[in-house]
Structure 1
Amino acid sequence: MNQSIIFVDRVEYDENTKRVSYFAQASGQLITCCYSTNKSKEDALLDFESKKFDYEDIAENAIEDELYNDEGLIEVEELL
């Protein structure tokens, strides 16, 4: 685990985009990590919590590899 990347205890669900967002801090910068889902808000948040460490590991690698999308976000695939 890279100690310079820290995940904050915050997760959000956007009803309009059906996107789950979670956040990391690296070098003082807040980085939004996200994925799209077809689940309801409640199911999506429960699913995220059950796979939180897997999502964080995937996002950490993407941050280290600077795989930001055009919006400046780290976008990952939903884990099934």
Structure 2
Amino acid sequence: MNQSIIFVDRVEYDESTKRISFFAQVSGQLIRCFYLTNKSEKDAISDFESKKFDYEDIAESAIEDELYNDEGLIEVEELL
């Protein structure tokens, strides 16, 4: 576990893009991590909460490897 990467207790659902976003703080900077889903808002957030630590582990590795997309975001795949 990298102590310089801290995940904040915040999750957002964007209906227009069907995107779940969660956030990491890295050296004081807020980094948006996200994945796409076909679930409703309620189901998507519930699913995220049940797999939160798995998503955070995947995102942490991507941040450490600097796998930012063109928008400066970390995209992970939805866990099924």
Shorter-chain TM-score: which interval? over 0.9
Shift of 1:71: 0.8
State the match for 2:78 in structure 1: 78
State the match for 2:11 in structure 1: 11
Give structure 1 regions of 4+ aligned residues with deviation exceeding 4 angstroms: none
Structure 1: stretches of 5+ with no match in the other structure: none
Letter matched to residue 60 of structure 1: E
Q: Structure 2 length as normaliser, TM-score? A: 0.99
Shift of 1:30: 0.3
Q: What whole-Å deviation, never above 9, does each CA across 1:13-41 have from its counterpart, x for those lacking one?
A: 00000000000000110000000000000
State the match for 1:54 in structure 2: 54
The number of residues matched between the two structures is 80
State the match for 1:29 in structure 2: 29
SS in 1 for 2:66: coil
1:64 aligns with 2:64: yes
CA root-mean-square deviation: 0.3
Letter matched to residue 6 of structure 1: I
Percent identical pairs in the alignment equals: 85
State the match for 2:20 in structure 1: 20
